[in-house]
């Protein structure tokens, strides 16, 4: 990995750590921060936002992705996710990631910013359902 790639990875982790501080988690007390890098070079941050009606809670990863998509910045390259213990993205987040880039790099870190896992989306979501899965006539 080049110094530039290493620097970008560390920047993503730092921004995810910062985003995590803004999580709204009155119920689970499990703050998550995410930082998403796009092909334009822009970084979109996200944090989990809980709700008393639990099903409408949204994960940090999807907040960051939806922010990028809402700006028409669809070339997702890498995402850093920070939790207390290095927790992985949930299935819903993985599916949203697959919509845009099955080769998305994923960096998982704990609350100290220590990377616990590096992976690629298609390795943690094999046989994903994506845009090419739809039959077109």
Q: Give the annotated binding-site residues for substrate.
A: 48-54
C-alpha–C-alpha distance, residues 45 and 124, integer Å: 22
Q: Are strands 33-38 and 43-47 parallel, antiparallel or unpaired?
A: antiparallel
Instruction: List binding-site positions.
Output: 48-54, 59, 90, 93
Q: Are 40 and 73 in contact (CB under 8 A)?
A: yes
> DSSP letters along 2-71, please?
-HHHHHHHHHHHHHHHHHHTT-B-TTT----EEEEEETTS-EEEEE-B--SSGGG-B-HHHHHHHHHHHT
Residue 61 among the catalytic residues: yes
Instruction: List binding-site positions for Zn(2+).
Output: 59, 90, 93
Residue of 5, 18, 61, 137 with catalytic role: 61
Q: Which active-site residues does the annotation give?
A: 61
């Amino acid at each position: 990995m080049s110094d530039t790639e290493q620097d970008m990875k560390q920047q993503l982790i730092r921004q995810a750590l910062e985003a995590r501080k803004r999580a709204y988690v009155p119920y689970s007390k499990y703050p998550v921060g995410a930082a998403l890098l796009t092909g334009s070079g822009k970084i979109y941050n996200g944090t989990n936002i809980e709700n008393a009606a639990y099903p409408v809670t949204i994960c940090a990863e999807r907040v960051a992705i939806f922010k990028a998509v809402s700006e028409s910045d669809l070339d997702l390259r890498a995402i850093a996710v920070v939790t207390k213990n290095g927790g992985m993205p949930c299935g819903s987040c993985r599916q949203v990631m697959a919509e845009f880039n099955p080769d998305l790099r994923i960096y998982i870190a704990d609350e100290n910013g220590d990377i616990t896992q590096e992976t690629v989306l298609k390795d943690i979501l094999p046989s994903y359902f994506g845009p090419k899965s739809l039959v077109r006539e």
